[in-house]
């Protein structure tokens, strides 16, 4: 029997297997499309230190028996895409600005293009994109993606004079979807994003005309992440060879190490080469297979390299995280913690966590909601296979059996140059031991402080209850005692105030039925 | 700030994101590598109706501080790869014979090449492949993969005369791994494969010299799956356009429908076109955007297309499944069920399920082990997010609270031209409603029959216990009664035998302490 062999372009591969990137059915695909383009927009702002202003319009253009067609418009005030990259960045699968070592929402450099491709395969209509980097021209293209060749095909182009120096990107296209089902995910996603990015201004008008506005409440934003060189602990043999090939053959190995790697200075390079038993003056052109092997093994095993720098990361920051949670959920109690930077396999990361209690949190008494974030993206699906869920469950079933009369929410954010996602759909994080440990430490701090607060609250409630009884009768008692002793009644007000102050009870106790 | 835009080749993309395909750490990568190549080998046999004979040798060649290097040798007696495809099939990412509509273990046409790529990036050594389709020549290549260009680079080639008409493929390469951790997964994977493929002969020699042999016990094998045309319910607009472009412009739409689609004959085509309000004599060249749109929507909504044929699938079959389970686990009780074919979104599928109790099943009393299979691949990871797990848990917590004194195992196999895997790592199946329903029905049948068996067993045990007491005393009673009545004692043996036969109790009841 003759097997039919075939080569697929990256477009065609992801087109055929779009489920693995989150395009599994009309509702999920609508959610994923908005999410991917929104994340590109946020990156275009945050990576360049621009306070984000994002506008999303979703309009239903046709109701059909088997699916509905929507028009999605998304506008940002980000950096814009340079003219020569617009078509490829949006119309070619595996062409992206995300293929550097840097913390960003985008990871695979895939999602935005796949969203547009999804629109094309469900509606057959071209995409319109308008972008400017703020120079003298605004570029407007309509195009489709040729799936077999993985190339954009231009339908029209127009250059517009940019008198007002507008900067940003607008994308408009048609796609199949099901907003009835997707709406709660989309709104939830935006709300949870707003909860950690109070410096962003996000407006969403849904197909029913409902306006969701998440206004900016702070003007400072986290420092943008930086692009870094690879850390020696994160590389493989293939990559080492590639790095060597990028530098002149006459360069010494010592210089190569300092030029090619993150946090390797002259001293570190010399000490390392001594450990590896390689002469510092060896030229790159003279590296034999044997020396390469030794170099590679030494790079991986040498344990005195300085850990990757966390300065290159862009954590949310304790104050912004607290502000965001307060803004979106108005909880009675909120607490946040930012752990010290750590690293796994040469990738720096930071865990930030928060806890909130009561207020406008959704859910029931006794619930502990888990809100997961990775590089500022809220993760809404596959909670059960996420490392955060695993840690939270372990703590809840272990030493932290938290009872509560109101819902509690736990927020966990990981910022890293490489998030260990379990799939292209970016929904769950793998249980890397170093990450697991940091999440556990962060949660323990928050739980301890929360339990202390809870004990205080319970104590306070008891005091309030007792005080209410005292307050009602102490005047009478004081009056009667005075009469009995034939003296003026004692001034009990001061006493009461002192006790109230001590237990932090509000001045005026509202009388409730006792 | 200037963003750096970059295009990645498919090799480079999967090289950078190898975790998503199951290459996350040395132990898991070793497991995945063996699994992917083994699955290619099994496909090369089963897709062509060849009784599989697979040999795997894994040898540890170096112990290092941070990882160990292994040499993996895998040999099959499958169809072999034609010379012109050998290098690309193994040395190019997204080049495969799996890109047709057919049930096969391979889904993404990725895994084998990624395993070799993983070997290359961790050891730097080329791959050796020997293959023949059984003609006059055996081809032997050593090659590496150029990651940046996604092309194989040949190191050596040799043609060998194939006097004995040998047919099959041998792959030999080096890779980093950790067998100490991976061993239980690898052995388990092979054992679970053997449990549903008793027609395969599988030999594995591990790095410690331990030999695992899963011999063939049946000679009949399931019919090979067939390549089919797409079903109208499974296509999108993009694909419809592509299909139209593949046929001559002068062809009528009626003829096109019967030629392009699975299970669309003349009558169906005519009825459908009436529904779609399109003239059957319309030529493909005359299809306007409007008609295309109407055609597409009609194709998706017309509910009288015949369901995809399940004849093209290759289920395990009840007898082979039962034989396999018996062979590998020697259970006290085993039962299997094969559901009628069903379909989702134009893809045919069949659910087969089995239940086993006691014998050599691993686990504890009360355990219900779940063994999941997709197109004959055992799935060992991410059980919690699999549709089978969801259904099993629902039944266990609902009407089927099965108590058991010995471990029970449930086997669920889905055969389909398109398995809805949740990720490229092929570990969990998404909860497609149609599939969920079929799994539930299969399990209910098995549980009902098992509970009936259990009741019988419990009943039998009670009878046995009572009989033991009777047996001990009835002779005496009969003797005494005889004496009292002054008659010969009655012959109680016949009575006892009758009772035993009725309840299926073994002839000789072993006396145990009562």
Q: What is the C-alpha to C-alpha distance for residues B210 and B340, in angstroms, rounded to an integer?
A: 41
The residue with greater pLDDT, B273 or A475, is: B273
Q: Are B201 and B54 within one domain?
A: yes
Q: Are B182 and B113 within one domain?
A: yes
Would you state the pLDDT for residue B158? 96
Q: Are A161 and A104 within one domain?
A: yes
- Distance set, CA A506 to CA A129, A417, A472, A497, B245 (Å): 57, 47, 16, 10, 77
Interface size between A and B, measured as CB pairs under 8 A: 173
Q: Which residue, B186, B214, B242, sits at the end of a domain? A: B214
SS3 B313: coil
Q: What is the C-alpha to C-alpha distance for residues B176 and B68, in angstroms, rounded to an integer?
A: 6
Task: Find out whether A396 and A368 touch, Cβ atoms under 8 Å.
Answer: yes
Name every residue whose Cβ is closer than 8 Å to that of residue B77 and which is 6 or more positions away in sequence. Answer: B45, B50, B52, B53, B54, B167, B168
Q: Are B324 and B435 within one domain?
A: yes
Instruction: Judge whether residue A355 has pLDDT over 80.
Output: yes
Would you state the pLDDT for residue A513? 34
**CA nearest to B17 within chain A:** A108
**CA nearest to B4 within chain A:** A97
Q: How confident is the model at residue B512 (pLDDT cuts 50, 70, 90)?
A: very low
> Hey, how many other C-beta atoms are within 10 angstroms of the C-beta on B485?
10
The mean pLDDT of B49-55, rounded to a whole number, is 97
Nearest CA-CA distance, residue A514 and chain B, Å = 43
Closest C-alpha to B127, from B89, B98, B95: B89
Task: Find out whether B2 and B40 touch, Cβ atoms under 8 Å.
Answer: no
Task: Find out whether B76 and B37 touch, Cβ atoms under 8 Å.
Answer: no
Q: What is the C-alpha to C-alpha distance for residues A114 and A18, in angstroms, rounded to an integer?
A: 8
- The helix (H) or strand (E) run that includes residue A69 is strand A68-76
> Which chain B residues are closer than 8 Å to A97 by Cβ?
3-6
- What are the φ/ψ torsions at residue A401 (nearest 5 degrees)? -85, 85
> Which chain B residues are closer than 8 Å to A8 by Cβ?
94-96, 99, 109
How high is the mean pLDDT of chain A?
A: 90
Would you state the pLDDT for residue B65? 61
Residue listed under structure tokens 């372990």:
A394
Q: Which residues of B280-312 are buried (b: 16+ CB within 10 A; e: fewer)?
A: eebebeebeeebeeebbbbbbebeebeebebeb
The mean pLDDT of A164-176, rounded to a whole number, is 97
Q: Partners of A142 in the beta sheet?
A: A128, A156
Preferred mutation among B49, B423, B427 to probe A, highest tally of A CBs within 10 A: B423
Nearest CB partner across the interface for B297, out of A64, A297, A382: A64
Instruction: Judge whether residue A295 has pLDDT over 90.
Output: yes
Q: Which domain holds residue B342?
A: 318-453
Closest C-alpha to A122, from B475, B239, B342, B308: B239
How crowded is the C-beta side of B296, counted as CA atoms within 13 Å? 23
Query: Using one digit for the tens of pLDDT, what is the confidence trace for B184-241?
Result: 999 999 999 999 999 999 999 999 999 999 999 999 999 999 999 999 988 888 889 9
Instruction: Judge whether residue A111 has pLDDT over 50.
Output: yes
Q: Is residue B22 part of a domain?
A: yes
Beta pairing class for A368-374 and A377-379? antiparallel
Q: What is the C-alpha to C-alpha distance for residues B124 and B151, in angstroms, rounded to an integer?
A: 16
- Distance set, CA A120 to CA A69, A71, A300, B430 (Å): 11, 12, 46, 24
Instruction: Judge whether residue B319 has pLDDT over 70.
Output: yes
To the nearest 5 percent, what fractions of chain B are helix, strand and coil?
Answer: 40, 20, 35
**Ramachandran class of B86: left when φ > 0, alpha when ψ lies in -120 to 50, beta otherwise:** alpha
Task: Find out whether A402 and A368 touch, Cβ atoms under 8 Å.
Answer: yes
- Distance set, CA B382 to CA A3, A428, A472, B377, B428 (Å): 32, 12, 62, 14, 6
Q: Is residue B310 part of a domain?
A: no
Nearest CB partner across the interface for B384, out of A5, A237, A384: A384
Would you state the pLDDT for residue A130? 98
Q: Are B296 and B385 within one domain?
A: no
- DSSP annotation string for A321-362: HHHHHHHHH--SEEEEEEPPPEEETTEEEEEEEEEEESTT--
Closest C-alpha to A44, from A164, A129, A158, A120: A129
Would you state the pLDDT for residue A357? 94
Instruction: Judge whether residue B309 has pLDDT over 90.
Output: no
Q: The CATH number of the domain where A88 resides is what?
A: 3.30.565.10
> Hey, how many other C-beta atoms are within 10 angstroms of the C-beta on B65?
9
Are A423 and B421 inside 8 Å of each other by CB?
no
> Hey, how many other C-beta atoms are within 10 angstroms of the C-beta on A63?
8
Nearest CB partner across the interface for A238, out of B79, B121, B300: B121
Beta pairing class for A347-357 and A333-338? antiparallel
E strands, A386-491, are: 408-416
Closest C-alpha to A421, from A373, A460, A456, A467: A373
> Which chain A residues are closer than 8 Å to B300 by Cβ?
66-67
Instruction: Judge whether residue B507 has pLDDT over 80.
Output: no
Q: How confident is the model at residue B511 (pLDDT cuts 50, 70, 90)?
A: very low
Task: Find out whether A34 and A173 touch, Cβ atoms under 8 Å.
Answer: no
Q: Is residue A307 part of a domain?
A: no
Would you state the pLDDT for residue A514? 33
Structural domain total, chain B? 4
Task: Find out whether A29 and A23 touch, Cβ atoms under 8 Å.
Answer: yes
> Which chain A residues are closer than 8 Å to B227 by Cβ?
4
Would you state the pLDDT for residue A19? 84
Nearest CB partner across the interface for A123, out of B89, B123, B237: B237
Task: Find out whether A145 and A120 touch, Cβ atoms under 8 Å.
Answer: yes
Q: How confident is the model at residue A65 (pLDDT cuts 50, 70, 90)?
A: low
Q: What is the C-alpha to C-alpha distance for residues A284 and A248, in angstroms, rounded to an integer?
A: 7
Q: Is residue B351 part of a domain?
A: yes
The mean pLDDT of A82-95, rounded to a whole number, is 94
Q: Are B446 and B464 within one domain?
A: no
Q: Which residue, B164, B179, B214, sits at the end of a domain? A: B214
Task: Find out whether B510 and B466 touch, Cβ atoms under 8 Å.
Answer: no
Are B13 and A15 inside 8 Å of each other by CB?
no
Q: Are A43 and A145 within one domain?
A: yes
What's the predicted TM-score (pTM) here?
Answer: 0.85
Q: Is residue B308 part of a domain?
A: no
Q: What is the C-alpha to C-alpha distance for residues A273 and B376, in angstroms, rounded to an integer?
A: 51
- The helix (H) or strand (E) run that includes residue B157 is strand B151-161
Would you state the pLDDT for residue A98? 87
* Structure tokens that stand for A214 in this block: 């998440």
Q: Is residue A430 part of a domain?
A: yes
SS3 A157: strand
Task: Find out whether A378 and A388 touch, Cβ atoms under 8 Å.
Answer: no
Q: Are A364 and A343 within one domain?
A: yes
Closest C-alpha to A499, from A448, A463, A446: A463
- What are the φ/ψ torsions at residue A498 (nearest 5 degrees)? -60, -45
Task: Find out whether B455 and B341 touch, Cβ atoms under 8 Å.
Answer: no
Nearest CA-CA distance, residue B330 and chain A, Å = 33
Instruction: Judge whether residue B163 has pLDDT over 60.
Output: yes
Q: How many degrees, rounded to 5, is the angle at CA B183 between CA B182 and CA B187?
A: 125
Q: Are B152 and B261 within one domain?
A: no
Preferred mutation among B7, B85, B92, B390 to probe A, highest tally of A CBs within 10 A: B7
Rg over alpha carbons for chain A, rounded to the nearest Å, is 29
Q: Is residue A308 part of a domain?
A: no
Q: How confident is the model at residue B109 (pLDDT cuts 50, 70, 90)?
A: confident
Are A97 and B4 inside 8 Å of each other by CB?
yes
Q: Are B34 and B163 within one domain?
A: yes
> Which chain B residues are closer than 8 Å to A384 by Cβ?
384-385
How high is the mean pLDDT of chain B?
A: 90
Preferred mutation among B238, B288, B425 to probe A, highest tally of A CBs within 10 A: B238
Query: Using one digit for the tens of pLDDT, what is the confidence trace for A254-278?
Result: 999 999 999 999 999 999 999 999 9
Task: Find out whether B52 and B197 touch, Cβ atoms under 8 Å.
Answer: yes
| ipTM value for the complex | 0.83
Task: Find out whether B42 and B52 touch, Cβ atoms under 8 Å.
Answer: yes
Q: How many degrees, rounded to 5, is the angle at CA B423 between CA B421 and CA B428?
A: 50
Nearest CA-CA distance, residue A193 and chain B, Å = 24
> Which chain B residues are closer than 8 Å to A10 by Cβ?
10, 13, 94
Q: How confident is the model at residue A250 (pLDDT cuts 50, 70, 90)?
A: very high
Residue listed under structure tokens 């306006």:
A211
Would you state the pLDDT for residue A511? 38
Q: Which residues of A25-34 are buried (b: 16+ CB within 10 A; e: fewer)?
A: bbbbbbbbbb
Nearest CB partner across the interface for A7, out of B92, B123, B289: B92
**CA nearest to B50 within chain A:** A1
The residue with greater pLDDT, A31 or A479, is: A31
E strands, B194-250, are: 201-205, 211-214
Instruction: Judge whether residue B466 has pLDDT over 90.
Output: no
Would you state the pLDDT for residue A108? 86
**CA nearest to A78 within chain B:** B1
* Structure tokens that stand for B339 in this block: 């559901």
Task: Find out whether A72 and A129 touch, Cβ atoms under 8 Å.
Answer: no
Would you state the pLDDT for residue A469? 80
Q: Are A30 and A175 within one domain?
A: yes
Residue listed under structure tokens 């954590």:
A315
Q: Is residue A47 part of a domain?
A: yes
Would you state the pLDDT for residue B498? 80
Nearest CB partner across the interface for B64, out of A96, A109, A297: A297
Q: Are A75 and A163 within one domain?
A: yes
Q: The CATH number of the domain where B245 resides is what?
A: 1.10.8.50
The residue with greater pLDDT, B105 or A502, is: B105
Total number of residues shown for chain B: 514
> Which chain A residues are closer than 8 Å to B147 by Cβ?
238, 242
Q: Which residue, A183, A214, A245, sits at the end of a domain? A: A214
Would you state the pLDDT for residue B514? 34
């Amino acid at each position: 029997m003759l097997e039919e062999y075939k080569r697929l372009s990256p477009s065609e591969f992801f087109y055929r297997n779009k489920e693995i990137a989150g395009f599994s059915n009309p509702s999920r695909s609508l959610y994923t499309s908005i999410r991917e383009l929104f994340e590109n927009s946020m990156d275009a702002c945050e990576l360049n230190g621009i306070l984000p202003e994002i506008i999303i319009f979703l309009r239903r253009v046709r109701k059909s028996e088997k699916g509905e067609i929507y028009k999605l418009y998304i506008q940002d005030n980000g950096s814009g895409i340079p003219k020569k990259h617009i078509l490829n960045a949006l119309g070619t699968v595996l062409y992206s600005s995300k293929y550097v070592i840097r913390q960003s929402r985008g990871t695979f450099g895939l999602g935005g293009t796949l969203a547009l491709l999804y629109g094309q395969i469900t509606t057959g209509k071209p995409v319109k994109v308008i972008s400017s980097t703020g120079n003298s021209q605004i570029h407007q293209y309509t195009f489709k993606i040729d799936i077999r060749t993985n190339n954009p095909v231009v339908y029209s182009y127009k250059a517009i004079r940019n008198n007002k120096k507008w900067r940003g990107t607008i994308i408009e296209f048609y796609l199949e979807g099901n907003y009835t089902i997707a709406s709660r995910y989309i709104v939830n996603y935006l709300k949870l994003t707003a909860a950690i990015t109070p410096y962003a201004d996000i407006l969403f008008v849904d197909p029913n005309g409902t306006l969701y506005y998440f206004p900016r409440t702070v003007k400072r934003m986290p420092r943008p992440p930086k692009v870094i060189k690879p850390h020696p602990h994160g590389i493989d043999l293939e990559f080492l060879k590639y790095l060597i090939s990028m530098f002149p053959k006459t360069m010494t190995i010592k210089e190569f190490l300092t030029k090619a790697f993150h946090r390797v200075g002259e001293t570190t390079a010399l000490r390392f080469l001594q450990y590896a038993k390689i002469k510092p003056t060896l030229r790159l052109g003279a590296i034999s297979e044997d020396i390469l092997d030794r170099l590679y093994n030494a790079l991986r095993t040498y344990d005195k390299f300085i850990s990757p720098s966390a300065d290159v990361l862009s954590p949310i920051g304790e104050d912004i995280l607290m502000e965001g949670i307060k803004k979106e959920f108005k909880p009675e109690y909120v607490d946040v913690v930012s752990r010290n930077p750590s690293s796994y396999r040469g990738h720096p990361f930071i865990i930030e966590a928060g806890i909130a209690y009561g207020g406008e949190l959704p859910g029931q008494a006794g619930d502990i909601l888990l809100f997961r974030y990775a590089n500022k993206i809220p993760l809404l699906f596959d909670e059960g296979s996420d490392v955060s869920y695993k840690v939270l469950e372990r703590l809840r079933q272990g030493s932290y059996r938290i009872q509560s009369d109101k819902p509690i929410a736990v927020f966990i954010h990981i910022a890293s140059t490489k998030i260990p996602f379990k799939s292209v759909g970016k929904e769950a994080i793998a249980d890397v031991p170093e990450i697991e440990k940091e999440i556990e430490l962060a949660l323990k701090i928050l739980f301890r402080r929360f339990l202390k607060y809870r004990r205080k609250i319970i104590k306070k409630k008891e005091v309030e209850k007792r005080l209410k009884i005292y307050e009602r009768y102490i005047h009478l008692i004081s009056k009667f005692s005075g009469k009995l002793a034939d003296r003026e009644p004692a001034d009990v007000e001061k006493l009461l105030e002192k006790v109230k102050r001590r237990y932090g009870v509000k001045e005026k106790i509202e009388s409730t039925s006792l």
